[in-house]
Amino acid sequence: MTLAGKKALVTAGGTREAIDAVRFIGNKSSGKQGYAIAEEAFERGADVTLVATVVREMSAGIDRLLVESAAEMREAVVGCAGEADIVIMAAAVADFRPSSVRPVKYKKSEGVPTLTLEPTADILAELGQAKSASQVLVGFAAESDNLEANACRKLAEKNADIIVANNIIAAGAGFDSDTNEVMIFSWSELASDLAGRTVDQTAAETINQLHVPSVSKREVASVLLDVVESHMARLR
Ligand code: CTP
């Protein structure tokens, strides 16, 4: 029970951004990786809150909040994050949403609608700005190219402690697959030791990379929580 007494907040699934009364903009996320992380943290003794957009099987002791849109996810996550020792943003959060939602259905007879989009809030970046020195913040990076460079940039720009990056177009990995192949990027020094350095300096010198070959999403969760626990041990 290596996480006994710790509070973990995990997100899972893809958000849905309403277009009209029946349609939405979604993504391919199944929520499997986020649920696997929540289960693994619960099995290690953590008090787990899961903010999810999809319903999947889970242990009864996990506290689940169901949300739909990026805005609802933000509200739920920001409301719980202050108390959490570990925050893991595994959800695929929409970056854009329709700037207005039609309360009724667009009718085909009206012709093809033109959608205007607006950005959503970046929840992980917001958590990175607000986080305390003792909180471990984990983000995901869904990449189709330049995985290492993009993951390192997200680690620095979003002020996360760990980024789990996956190649979403590789076989046996990514959305809806039961397995995943990831790279886990984490700072090799504590944030307090990095103060004042530029992103280029920190990225070149102080980011550890761990390759996790194609294994079950539960095994990915286990390796990730080992990395989280070793980060927590350094914070003590
Ligand atoms: N994320 C978030 N809020 C958003 C978008 C993303 O909190 N509005 C989080 C995701 O949960 C994930 C991380 O940010 O942990 C990276 O998400 P990703 O989609 O890979 O990256 P983006 O920042 O959206 O950048 P890009 O689309 O350029 O890859």
User: What atom in ligand 1 is closest to the CA of residue 95?
Assistant: 8
Q: Is 108 a residue whose pLDDT tops 80?
A: yes
Residue 48, number of CB atoms within 10 A of its CB: 28
What is the reported pLDDT for 195? 55
- Is position 56 within any domain? yes
Query: Residue range 160-189: average pLDDT?
Result: 87
Kindly report the CA angle at 128 between 127 and 134, in degrees rounded to 5?
95
Query: Residue range 143-161: average pLDDT?
Result: 93
Kindly report the CA angle at 207 between 162 and 125, in degrees rounded to 5?
40
| 27 is an active site residue | yes
What is the reported pLDDT for 188? 84
Query: Best substitution site from 33, 140, 163 to test ligand 1's pocket, by max atoms within 8 Å of Cβ?
Result: 140
Query: Residue range 24-42: average pLDDT?
Result: 97
Q: Is 101 a residue whose pLDDT tops 70?
A: yes
Structural domain of residue 87, as residue ranges? Answer: 7-235
Q: Is 193 a residue whose pLDDT tops 70?
A: no
- Is position 1 within any domain? no
Is residue 58 within 8 A of residue 52, CB to CB? The reply is no
Amino acid at 67: V
Per-chain mean pLDDT for the chain: 92
Q: For ligand 1, say whether the CB of 51 is within 6 Å of any of its atoms.
A: no
Closest CA to 207 of 176, 177, 184, 179: 184
The domain that holds 192 is classified in CATH as 3.40.50.10300
User: Over pLDDT 70: what percentage of the chain?
Assistant: 92
Structural domain total, the chain: 1
Q: For ligand 1, say whether the CB of 123 is within 6 Å of any of its atoms.
A: yes
What is the reported pLDDT for 191? 59
- Is position 173 within any domain? yes
What is the reported pLDDT for 102? 95
Query: Residue range 137-164: average pLDDT?
Result: 94
What is the reported pLDDT for 219? 97
- Is position 209 within any domain? yes
The CA distance from 138 to 60, in Å, is 24
Q: How far, in Å, from the CA of 85 to the mean position of ligand 1?
A: 21
- Is position 70 within any domain? yes
Weakest-pLDDT range from 125-139, 147-161, 166-180: 166-180
Q: Is 236 a residue whose pLDDT tops 80?
A: no
The CA distance from 28 to 92, in Å, is 8
**Alpha-carbon distances of 27 from 16, 49, 114, 217, rounded to whole Å:** 8, 23, 20, 19
- Is position 2 within any domain? no
Is residue 123 within 8 A of residue 145, CB to CB? The reply is no
Question: Position of tokens 């958590």?
Answer: 127
Q: How many CA atoms lie within 13 A of 234 on its CB side?
A: 16
Closest CA to 222 of 161, 180, 174, 188: 180
DSSP conformation letters of 166-214: EETTSTT-STT-SEEEEEEEEESS-HHHHTT--HHHHHHHSEEEEEEEE
| Residue 177: pLDDT band with limits 50, 70, 90 | confident
Q: Check residue 14 and report its DSSP letter.
A: B
